């Protein structure tokens, strides 16, 4: 096979290698690159690149919420006007305020005065004032006239005299229940039998009337009826309670020491 002759490039490379070896032998640096092989392009000075000016973007305008118009409603304008405008509150003058304060104080004092007890029984001015015109006539009404000490209770359209304080307390009346009326007001009512405290125990036939804290023996049925008593008024208590009560005069009087229940 016929040897091929080296190309021109190979020849130049060989020459370059030999030159480099020669320089290395003499201690010199590597030979400069052949100008014919490459021409170094001058390095241009580095110029700092200016930052590109950012384009000013259009600032987006804030979105504005569009409020839909309120549809007209019948009476809407009148309602809005009424809410916005209110008549001014009437001003109270200092003189009127002082007058109202005095009236309120006077009313308070009057209420206190008419409820202060006038006597030991707790009767107040409110109950002592004649109020017959305003009375409701009914069973259970407790009344007395101004100048009379006797107290009555109305039962079945008749006035029954409450014979004693014992009877008054025994039947649960209070001084607040008593209505004081003008003299002569009770004349229009029929008088019934007096209201007494009649006591009896089941183990004894004897009946006693309680008067002033003592028991008075009713000697027989004739005396019982003569006094106007009725069997509905008899209260049953224990025999021991009756024995503990002190003895009083018999009814009618003069029948000796009463028997014990």
> CB neighbours of 157 closer than 8 A, spacing ≥ 6?
189, 190
Q: What pLDDT, on the 0 to 100 scale, is given for residue 44?
A: 54
- Rg of the chain in Å (alpha carbons): 65
Please write the tens of the pLDDT for every residue from 230-259.
888 898 999 999 999 999 999 999 998 899
Between 67 and 162, the higher pLDDT residue? 162
Q: What pLDDT, on the 0 to 100 scale, is given for residue 236?
A: 92
Please write the tens of the pLDDT for every residue from 197-228.
999 999 999 999 998 889 999 999 999 999 88
CA atoms within 13 A on the CB side of 249: 5
Contact predicate 211/246, CB 8 Å: no
Distance, CA of 149 to CA of 62 (rounded, Å) = 97
Q: What pLDDT, on the 0 to 100 scale, is given for residue 230?
A: 86
Per the prediction, the chain carries an average pLDDT of 74
Q: Kindly indicate the confidence band of residue 113, based on its pLDDT and cuts at 50, 70 and 90.
A: low
Q: What pLDDT, on the 0 to 100 scale, is given for residue 220?
A: 94
Q: What pLDDT, on the 0 to 100 scale, is given for residue 51?
A: 56
Q: Locate 207 and state its tokens.
A: 């009946």
Please write the tens of the pLDDT for every residue from 49-76.
555 545 445 445 556 555 555 454 455 4
pTM above 0.85, yes or no: no
């Amino acid at each position: 096979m016929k040897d091929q002759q080296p190309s021109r490039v190979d020849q130049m490379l060989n020459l370059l290698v030999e030159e480099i070896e020669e320089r290395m032998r003499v201690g010199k640096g590597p030979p400069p690159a052949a100008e014919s092989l490459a021409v170094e392009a001058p390095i241009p000075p580095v110029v700092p690149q200016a930052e590109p000016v950012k384009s000013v973007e259009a600032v987006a305008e804030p979105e504005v919420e569009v409020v839909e118009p309120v549809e007209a409603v019948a009476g809407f304008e009148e309602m809005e006007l009424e809410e916005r405008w209110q008549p001014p509150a009437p001003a109270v003058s200092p003189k009127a305020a002082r007058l109202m304060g005095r009236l309120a104080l006077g009313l308070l004092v009057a209420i206190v005065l008419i409820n202060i007890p006038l006597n030991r029984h707790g009767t107040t001015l409110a109950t002592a004032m004649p109020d017959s015109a305003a009375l409701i006539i009914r069973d259970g009404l407790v009344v007395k006239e101004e100048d009379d000490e006797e107290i009555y209770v109305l039962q079945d359209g008749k006035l029954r005299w409450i014979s004693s304080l014992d009877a008054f307390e025994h039947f649960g009346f209070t001084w607040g229940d008593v209505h004081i009326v003008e003299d002569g007001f009770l004349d229009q009512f029929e008088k019934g039998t007096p209201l007494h405290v009649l006591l009896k125990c089941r183990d004894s036939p004897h009946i006693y009337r309680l008067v002033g804290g003592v028991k008075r023996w009713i000697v027989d049925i004739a005396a019982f009826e003569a006094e106007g008593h009725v069997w509905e008024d008899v209260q049953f208590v224990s025999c021991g309670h009756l024995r503990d009560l002190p003895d009083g005069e018999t009814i009618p009087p003069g029948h000796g020491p009463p028997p014990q229940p």
